[in-house]
C-alpha cells in the first residue's frame, strides 16, 4: 500500500506527481525519467542509499528524457534539460522517501514485474536496494 498519495494517473494513464510543492521537481524527474521502470527506480534507490551511507561516494548523474539528476553525499540535484529555471536541490532523505513511495506505486501498477526485476537487480549488483525496507511479497 502506498504510504502517501503522491502519484495519480493523468489522461494518458501515466503517473504524475501531486505531492508537496517543495518536492515538485524531484517528482517530475521520477515520473518523467524513471517512469514505471522497476530497474530504473531500483538503481536510483540504490545510488541514494549508497550516497547516504558512504561519504566518499563519487557523484553520479542519471540522465533521462527531460532531466539530469546528480546524486552525491550532499543530496540530489535535479535539472530539466529544456527549461533552465526548472531545477532543485533535495536532501538524500527526501529523495529516498519519494523514490520508495514511487516504488510502492510501481508495485501497484505492475505487480507482475516488480519481484522479478528486483531479483534481477540484486543478482546483477550483489545487493537488494530495498532489503530491510520492503518485503518481496506485498511490497
pLDDT per position as a tens digit, 59-87? 999 999 899 999 999 999 999 988 878 89
Angle between helices 111-125 and 92-109 (to 10 degrees): 130
Q: Is residue 59 part of a domain?
A: no
What DSSP element (H or E) covers 68? strand 67-72
- Report which of residues 45 and 16 the model is more confident about: 45
- In this model, does residue 46 exceed pLDDT 90? yes
C-alpha 129/C-alpha 98 separation (Å) is 14
Q: Is residue 78 part of a domain?
A: no
- In this model, does residue 2 exceed pLDDT 50? no
pLDDT score, position 41: 96
Q: Is residue 15 part of a domain?
A: yes
Per-residue pLDDT averaged across 96-125, rounded? 92
**Are 17 and 7 contacting, i.e. CB atoms less than 8 angstroms apart?**
yes
Q: Is residue 39 part of a domain?
A: yes
Q: Is residue 130 part of a domain?
A: no
Distance of CA 7 to the CA centre of its chain: 12
Record the cell numbers describing residue 48, joined without a space.
541514494
Q: Is residue 62 part of a domain?
A: no
Q: pTM here?
A: 0.88
Q: Is residue 27 part of a domain?
A: yes
Count of domains for the chain: 1
Q: Is residue 121 part of a domain?
A: yes
pLDDT in tens, 119-128: 999 999 999 9
Domain that holds residue 40: 7-51+92-125
Residue 110 to residues 17, 29, 64, 103, 106: CA-CA distances in angstroms?
18, 19, 21, 10, 6
Amino acid at each position: 500500500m502506498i504510504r502517501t498519495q503522491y502519484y495519480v494517473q493523468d489522461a494518458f494513464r501515466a503517473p504524475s506527481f501531486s505531492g508537496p510543492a517543495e518536492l515538485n521537481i524531484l517528482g517530475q524527474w521520477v515520473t518523467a525519467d524513471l517512469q514505471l521502470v522497476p530497474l530504473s527506480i531500483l538503481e536510483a534507490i540504490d545510488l541514494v542509499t549508497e550516497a547516504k551511507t558512504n561519504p566518499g561516494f563519487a557523484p553520479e548523474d542519471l540522465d533521462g528524457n527531460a532531466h539530469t539528476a546528480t546524486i552525491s553525499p550532499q543530496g540530489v540535484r535535479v535539472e530539466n534539460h529544456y527549461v533552465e529555471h526548472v531545477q532543485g536541490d533535495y536532501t538524500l532523505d527526501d529523495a529516498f522517501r519519494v523514490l520508495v513511495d514511487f516504488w510502492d506505486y510501481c508495485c501497484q501498477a505492475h505487480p507482475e514485474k516488480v519481484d522479478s526485476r528486483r531479483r534481477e537487480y540484486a543478482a546483477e549488483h550483489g545487493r537488494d536496494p530495498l532489503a530491510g525496507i520492503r518485503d518481496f511479497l506485498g511490497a
